[in-house]
């Protein structure tokens, strides 16, 4: 009952007053004030009071700007797209929103290890290596009780597509409110972003990282194998795959369990997307980035899996009639490109490829069957077919049978002025005073847009998501929607808007709102 005054001063000094001024929340490695009132009174000659204080902190980041970015920043950028067209998306981590302490403690309490041995689990929570691994288990739903259910197909019934989300808090709150049934649906970047929020709330520095041309090596032998058939022989199925991008997080911590000299301290890969089991659970990491770079694949946790994601060789096999196989191509360059994360203190992209990979020497074991592959695409016209023309020139006299796969992805809806947003009065808002945001959307196409909705997200501006259904939008018509809300935290805040309709999904825009104290 006397904790209020204690919480106020301690939380301010420990920079946790954004989370709460009612509960005492302190960070490690820093002094705090505590008044104990004992009944019966303390008698120095008879009673003994022992307190152990650990000043060593495995997650301490010495640089103030880095602490601000990787622990305190509630706004982030996630890179998607393909390696030649990197697409930044804003994300609201919301780690200091209401009840985040409760939600994150529940995440820890729901993990299998806690159910098996609560005392053991709780006493291990001082260890960020243990905690971060447990969190990767709990972000996906494959181990039971976890937060997000994945969907890589097109059937999003019973939930929303992964592209809907703009922030973590709506997901975490939904999980917590729904008596902990998994929230539908997530994919790699949603898993990673939610994990980043939980890590930052727990005080473990964390950032979201994208790897382009990311390999998924199912049998952990560090190669991605593709099989092609000679005449009349069926292709051998391969479970290995290469993704245009994959997103995980890095947590910052020391690794005294691996080396006494601090060789493996620093950023560690943690991948909450359920891909392969590790010690019987869908979890991955922490794997030191320095170990991945050095190829120290014997180290825990899951270094071989992450090493393959950024470094696997792509091997193409020709399967002969008698079942024997010939290696027709080895590409050791393709996997793991343009590995990206948001920079400290700015919205620029930081290229961290060199921290994962040594410089590679182009190795040419390729047998070139085709000299030129040219793809010509006709200019897209609304409502008409698009023609694709593929030109192959062979430099060999041999006859070859080939199969061609063409993948088309609509990257961005570039109607003008699609989703032009937001009133001018966003500059000088005051905390605890009502403000208005205006969203303007014009239908630039030739068809009626149906099932339209707008979703607003912004930690410190309003709690969770604001969702508004809109009437059908006729061609060239505009819709203008005003939102009123009361910002409850000062500072630079990010307002994220998502427009969704049946014809195209989840167009996103964002803007900064400066809220004065």
Ligand X SMILES: *[C@@H]1O[C@H](CO)[C@@H](O)[C@H](O)[C@H]1NC(C)=O
**Which residues are marked as active site?**
188, 246, 271
Size of the site for ligand X (CB under 6 A): 12
Looking at 151, 275, 338, 443, which residue binds ligand X (CB under 6 A)? 338
Q: By C-beta, is 359 or 389 nearer to ligand X?
A: 359
The dihedrals phi and psi of 216, each to the nearest 5 degrees, come to -120, 100
| 221 belongs to the binding site for ligand X (CB under 6 A) | yes
Dihedral of CA atoms 232, 237, 242, 248 in degrees, nearest 10, equals 170
Q: Give the residue from 178, 176, 173, 174 showing the smallest Cα distance to 109.
A: 176
Determine the Cα–Cα distance for residues 181 and 311; give it in Å rounded to an integer.
Answer: 36
Looking at 18, 74, 83, 296, which residue binds ligand X (CB under 6 A)? 83
Looking at 2, 43, 84, 469, which residue binds ligand X (CB under 6 A)? 84
Stretch that binds ligand X, among 88-96, 219-227, 242-250, 406-414 (CB under 6 A): 219-227
Stretch that binds ligand X, among 119-127, 143-151, 276-284, 347-355 (CB under 6 A): 347-355
| 354 belongs to the binding site for ligand X (CB under 6 A) | yes
Q: Which helix (H) or strand (E) holds 268?
A: strand 266-270
CB of 277 to ligand X, least distance (A): 18
The DSSP string of 145-214 is S-SEEE--SS--TTS--GGG--BSHHHHHHHHHTTTPPEEEE-HHHHHHHHHHHHHHTT--EEEEEEEEE
| 219 belongs to the binding site for ligand X (CB under 6 A) | yes
Determine the Cα–Cα distance for residues 407 and 138; give it in Å rounded to an integer.
Answer: 33
| 376 belongs to the binding site for ligand X (CB under 6 A) | no
Q: Which helix (H) or strand (E) holds 513?
A: strand 507-516
- Residue 66 near residue 344, CB atoms below 8 Å: yes
| 235 belongs to the binding site for ligand X (CB under 6 A) | no
Stretch that binds ligand X, among 69-77, 182-190, 303-311, 348-356 (CB under 6 A): 348-356
CB of 302 to ligand X, least distance (A): 18
| 343 belongs to the binding site for ligand X (CB under 6 A) | no
| 86 belongs to the binding site for ligand X (CB under 6 A) | yes
Residue 380 CB partners (closer than 8 Å, separation 6+): 386
| 353 belongs to the binding site for ligand X (CB under 6 A) | yes
DSSP-derived secondary structure letter, 126: G
CB of 376 to ligand X, least distance (A): 21
Q: By C-beta, is 176 or 210 nearer to ligand X?
A: 210
Q: List C-alpha distances in Å: 178 to 145, 170, 184.
A: 11, 12, 12
* Residues in 433-452 that interact with ligand X by CB under 6 A: none
- Residue 59 near residue 27, CB atoms below 8 Å: no
CB of 221 to ligand X, least distance (A): 4
Stretch that binds ligand X, among 215-223, 420-428, 477-485, 494-502 (CB under 6 A): 215-223
| 273 belongs to the binding site for ligand X (CB under 6 A) | no
Q: For tokens 């999904």, what's the residue?
A: 505
Q: By C-beta, is 178 or 358 nearer to ligand X?
A: 358
Chain centroid to CA 4: how far?
Answer: 35
Q: By C-beta, is 56 or 322 nearer to ligand X?
A: 322
Residue 220 CB partners (closer than 8 Å, separation 6+): 276, 304, 305, 308
| 225 belongs to the binding site for ligand X (CB under 6 A) | yes
| 351 belongs to the binding site for ligand X (CB under 6 A) | yes
| 423 belongs to the binding site for ligand X (CB under 6 A) | no
Q: What residues line the site for ligand X (CB under 6 A)?
A: 83-84, 86, 219, 221, 223, 225, 337-338, 351, 353-354
């Amino acid at each position: 009952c006397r904790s209020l005054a204690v919480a106020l001063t301690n939380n301010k000094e420990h920079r946790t007053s954004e989370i709460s001024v009612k509960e005492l929340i302190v960070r490690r490695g820093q002094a705090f004030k505590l008044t104990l009132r004992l009944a019966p009174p303390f008698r120095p000659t008879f009673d003994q009071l022992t307190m152990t204080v650990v000043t060593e902190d495995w997650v301490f980041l010495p640089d103030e700007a880095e602490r601000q970015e990787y622990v305190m920043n509630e706004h982030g950028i996630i890179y998607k797209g393909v390696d030649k067209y990197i697409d930044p998306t804003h994300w609201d981590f919301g780690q200091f929103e209401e009840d985040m302490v409760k939600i994150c403690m529940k995440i820890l309490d729901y993990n299998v290890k806690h159910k098996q041995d609560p005392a053991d689990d709780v006493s291990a929570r001082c260890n960020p290596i243990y905690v971060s691994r447990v969190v990767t288990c709990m972000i996906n739903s494959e181990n039971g009780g976890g937060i997000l259910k994945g969907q890589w197909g097109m059937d999003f019934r019973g939930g929303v597509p992964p592209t809907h989300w703009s922030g973590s808090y709506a997901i975490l709150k939904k999980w917590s409110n729904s008596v902990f049934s998994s929230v539908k649906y997530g994919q790699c970047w949603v898993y990673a972003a939610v994990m980043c929020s939980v890590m930052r709330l727990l005080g473990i520095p964390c950032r979201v990282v994208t790897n382009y041309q990311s390999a998924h090596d199912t049998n952990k032998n560090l190669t991605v194998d593709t099989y092609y058939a000679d005449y009349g022989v069926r292709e051998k199925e391969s479970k290995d795959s290469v993704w245009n991008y994959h997103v995980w997080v890095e947590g910052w911590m020391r690794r005294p369990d691996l080396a006494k000299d601090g060789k493996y301290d620093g950023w560690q890969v943690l991948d909450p997307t359920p891909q392969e089991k590790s010690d019987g659970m869908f979890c991955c990491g922490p794997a030191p980035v320095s170990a991945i770079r050095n190829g120290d694949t014997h180290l825990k946790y899951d270094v071989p899996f992450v090493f393959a994601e950024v470094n696997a060789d792509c091997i193409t096999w020709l399967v002969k009639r008698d079942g024997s196989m010939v290696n027709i191509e080895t590409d050791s360059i393709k996997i793991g490109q343009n590995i990206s994360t948001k920079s400290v203190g700015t919205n620029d992209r930081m290229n961290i490829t060199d921290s994962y990979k040594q410089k590679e020497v182009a190795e040419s074991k390729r047998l070139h069957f085709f000299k030129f592959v040219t793809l010509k695409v006709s200019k897209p016209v609304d409502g008409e077919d698009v023609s694709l023309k593929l030109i192959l020139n062979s430099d060999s006299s041999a006859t070859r049978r080939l199969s061609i796969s063409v993948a088309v992805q609509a990257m961005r809806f570039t109607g003008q002025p699609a989703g032009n947003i937001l009133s001018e009065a966003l500059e000088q808002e005051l905390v605890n005073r009502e403000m208005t945001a205006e969203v303007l959307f014009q239908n630039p196409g030739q068809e009626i847009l149906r099932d339209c909705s707008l979703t607003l997200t912004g930690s410190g501006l309003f709690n969770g998501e604001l969702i508004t259904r809109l009437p059908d939008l006729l061609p060239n018509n505009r819709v203008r929607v005003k939102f009123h809300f009361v910002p409850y935290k000062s500072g630079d805040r990010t307002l994220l808007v998502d427009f969704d309709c049946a014809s195209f999904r989840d167009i996103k825009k964002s803007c900064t709102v400066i809220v004065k104290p």
